[in-house]
Chain A
Amino acid sequence: MATKTVLEAVRDALHDEMKRDERVFILGEDVGPRGNVFRITAGFLDEFGRDRVIDTPLAEASIAGVAVGAAMMGMRPVAEIQFADFIYPAYNQIVGEAAKIRYRSAGGNTCPLVIRTPYGGGVRGALSHSVSVEALFYHVPGLKICAPSTPADTQGLLTAAIRDDDPVLFLEHKKTYRLIKGEVPDGDHIVPLGKADVAREGRDLSVITYGLMRHFAVEAAEQIAREGIDAEVVDLRTIQPMDRDAILRSVSKTRRALVVHEDNKFGGVGAEIAALIAEDAFLDLDAPIRRLCGPDVPAMGYAKEYEDAFMPSPEKIAAAMRELAAF
């Protein structure tokens, strides 16, 4: 076991996979000598060479498109979009191309790439360095999406994503990079895609969540445990494919569901989770399904007041839990 931050877990997964499989290479802005703006790939250029650590032009569409082409030829590219806020030009390639290649060629061509990007707020990143983008992508069949929040899950999932034969969008919450430390098993540590994790077991209500909010939810659960409310926290870890069974298992047990995510509420991933629970766990529900999410404004503003108003916090989550428990 080693204790590391989420950032170090990303680095280790990338490094170990590049060592293990020469088809794996990295491309993105500033990934070379700069070692990525968060220093994730520091030292990689020296170790793996210019052929496998490629500084691309400032052109997100082609970062993704070139990765698609290489993946079609059997390589395992890990493309980086420097901030999720910049992913929109690559949307065409991710959604219109990568996600569809296997389906449209009836298996003739495949696209085993990974696109990694830091997302999320709480770092005073303002409107263009704080967005969550999962809702724009999880709607797309053919694409997989990971959103881990612990070092162990990050390393295990990124490793699995690189080895996955389907295109994977790998979302790293930038606030967790340095904030969250944890133990990661040694050796070939894999976390399978599509499996949620019960971060905290409980009996009275279920919180379904992912990303930074997993940590806030656990903190909130500890707070209200002292008031006699026992909350279960389910961390999805993968958004697509979503672990429906874990969600339904938890809600059938506790009968009360609270979805927490940082992303805007309307049309967010929580809407799908709520629909799934309503469709398949209706008879088990003792309270309406609730969602605690970011407000429906374009992102969090630069002023701390805006950021605090936008971000869910352990206190806000605890309040929502209390209200749900009292229904």
Chain B
Amino acid sequence: MPNVIMPQLGETVTEGTVGKWLKKVGEQVAKYEPLLDVETDKVASEIPSPYAGTVTKILAEEGATVPVGAPICEIEETGKKAEGPAQAVPGPAQAPAGPVAPAQQQSRGDGVQGDDGARYSPAVRKLAREHRIDLRGVTGTGRGGRVTAQDVATASKTPSASPPRLAAPSAPLSPAPPTPTAVPPQQAHAVPVAPPSGEDSIVKLTPIRKTIADRMAQSRFTIPFAWSLVEVDVTELAKWRDKEKAGFKAREGVSLTFVPIVVSAVAAALRQVPLVNSAWAGDHIIQRRRVNVGIAIDTDDGLIVPVVRDADRLSLSGLATTLAELIDKARRRKLTMEELSDGTITVNNTGAIGSVISVPIINPPQAAIFAMEATVKRPWVVNDAIAIRSIMNVSLCFDHRVFDGGTASKFLQSVKRRLEGPPPAL
């Protein structure tokens, strides 16, 4: 049963009011014969019937206002020649909606290494992806230190000079999870520098040096650090090591230095004072469950910090072996990204270069860095008498936002106790 609908009388009209029905239910009507009066705010007209037949139902009463296209009555058509399209078009056809481009979600993970939130131009990202360059290792020569496409292009052509590819270490410090704080550029505390004279020489910055400079500056500028030192009497430990080192070397193939011993003590102490194994995250502290100890290593290129994962679960020989491997790889520039990531604390063996006291720079986002100094024979008071003892200073430089001196002290004492106590298990 076809419907008769409210027509659109006027281009912008959206509804019509039924005036008078000129045909009643049951009445016959011819095609085009006036069927009803309709009023809009633009025009008032008679509406001719679209069909010949009998009115069977009135769907909109006189006085009712209905939207354009709403059915207003039903007519049973007298069966005869077919009409054109059965229903009247309710109004001017809607213009086809133009094709809408789906909103492009530019994913951050577009396969670019070094996506640490720093801003790289589309060209730079594309080139880095194509040439598998880690952008963190690329020095920017653009305005404000920006990495330009040319910088990446240059980097892709010079494998030795620097910007390390995926297989090589790119940063001296463990790569951090994306931090919202951008590396503060050199401006903040810049002191005017007298320009070089004829006798001076210019040392150009390698990418690693540049990165170290940026990261050290960032660490010092943003972390309120405090530092605490304890002296450790390692006389017995040293004797023990002297006794064991040959056998150890023969069995394990690697040397038994103080480093794995100290790392073991540090790892155990972190289990005891877990707050030291943390990260400052702005409005909360993340206390890491795993103990991944980074070891700062000096190479020809600069400082590098490979990580011994789960150091607290490794035996002394395991530690020694792992450390030896990492150091070797570091020297040969063969460390992988994974070996440089996820450190939760850093151990700095400044003793290896003869230091007895040093204040290392924290490796963000870690909360602390531990320094082990050189073992030196000193006159010491033991049982109220002077003796010659082997003394190693160990210190902790820590982020005072995360914990206080008390915690630092607890930690250091724990390390000291282990180093001064019974020798470790082999």
Which A residues are closer than 8 A to B by beta carbons? 255, 282-287, 326-327
Contacts and interface: CB of A to CB of B under 8 A. Distances in A.
B143 A285 contact: no
20 contacts: A283-B122, A283-B125, A283-B126, A284-B123, A284-B126, A285-B121, A285-B122, A285-B123, A286-B121, A286-B122, A286-B123, A286-B124, A286-B148, A286-B150, A287-B121, A326-B142, A326-B143, A327-B143, A327-B146, A327-B148
Contacts of A327: 142-143, 146, 148
Interface in B118-177: 121-126, 142-143, 146, 148-150
A278 to B, nearest CB: 10
A43 B262 CA distance: 102
Given A286-B149, A326-B142, 14 more contacts: A282-B122, A283-B122, A283-B123, A283-B125, A283-B126, A284-B122, A284-B126, A285-B121, A285-B122, A285-B123, A286-B123, A286-B150, A327-B142, A327-B146
Interface centre among B121, B149, B150 (most CB of A within 10 A): B121
A228 to B, nearest CB: 12
A286 B142 CA distance: 10
Contacts of A283: 122-123, 125-126
A327 B119 CA distance: 13
The 4 closest A-B pairs by CB, nearest first: A286-B123, A286-B149, A283-B122, A286-B121
Nearest to A204: B150
Contacts of B148: 286, 327
A65 B374 CA distance: 97
Contacts of B126: 283-284
B149 to A, nearest CB: 4
A45 B325 CA distance: 95
Interface of B: 121-126, 142-143, 146, 148-150
Contacts of A282: 122
Nearest to A287: B121
A255 B149 contact: yes
A255 B143 CA distance: 16
A181 to B, nearest CB: 38
A326 B146 CA distance: 10
Contacts of A255: 123, 149
A286 to B, nearest CB: 4
Contacts of B123: 255, 283-286
Nearest to A279: B101
Nearest to A282: B122
Nearest to A326: B143
A255 B126 CA distance: 12
A327 B124 CA distance: 13
A319 to B, nearest CB: 15
Contacts of B143: 326-327
Contacts of B146: 327
Contacts of B150: 286
A285 B149 CA distance: 9
A286 B126 CA distance: 10
A125 B117 CA distance: 52
A256 to B, nearest CB: 9
B224 to A, nearest CB: 36
Nearest to A284: B123
A320 to B, nearest CB: 14
A272 to B, nearest CB: 17
Contacts of A286: 121-124, 148-150
Contacts of A285: 121-123
Nearest to B146: A327
A286 B148 CA distance: 7
A65 B122 CA distance: 49
Contacts of A284: 122-123, 126
B8 to A, nearest CB: 24
Contacts of B125: 283
B174 to A, nearest CB: 30
Nearest to A288: B121
B20 to A, nearest CB: 41
B156 to A, nearest CB: 15
A255 to B, nearest CB: 5
A230 B122 CA distance: 21
Contacts of B124: 286
B141 to A, nearest CB: 10
A200 to B, nearest CB: 20
Interface centre among A282, A285, A286, A326 (most CB of B within 10 A): A286
A29 to B, nearest CB: 41
Nearest to B129: A283
Contacts of B142: 326-327
Contacts of B122: 282-286
Nearest to A252: B123
B133 to A, nearest CB: 15
B51 to A, nearest CB: 33
Contacts of A326: 142-143
A235 to B, nearest CB: 24
A284 B150 CA distance: 12
A205 to B, nearest CB: 12
A283 B130 CA distance: 12
B276 to A, nearest CB: 44
A259 B143 CA distance: 21
Interface centre among A255, A282, A284, A327 (most CB of B within 10 A): A255
B104 to A, nearest CB: 10
B129 to A, nearest CB: 10
A3 B142 CA distance: 44
A255 B123 CA distance: 7
Nearest to B121: A286
A28 B204 CA distance: 68
A283 B148 CA distance: 13
A260 to B, nearest CB: 21
A282 B121 CA distance: 9
A280 to B, nearest CB: 12
A314 B398 CA distance: 58
B122 to A, nearest CB: 5
Interface centre among B123, B125, B148, B149 (most CB of A within 10 A): B123
A327 B122 CA distance: 14
Nearest to B141: A326
Nearest to B106: A282
A326 B140 CA distance: 11
A283 B112 CA distance: 13
A120 B159 CA distance: 53
A128 B233 CA distance: 93
A282 B146 CA distance: 18
A285 B124 CA distance: 8
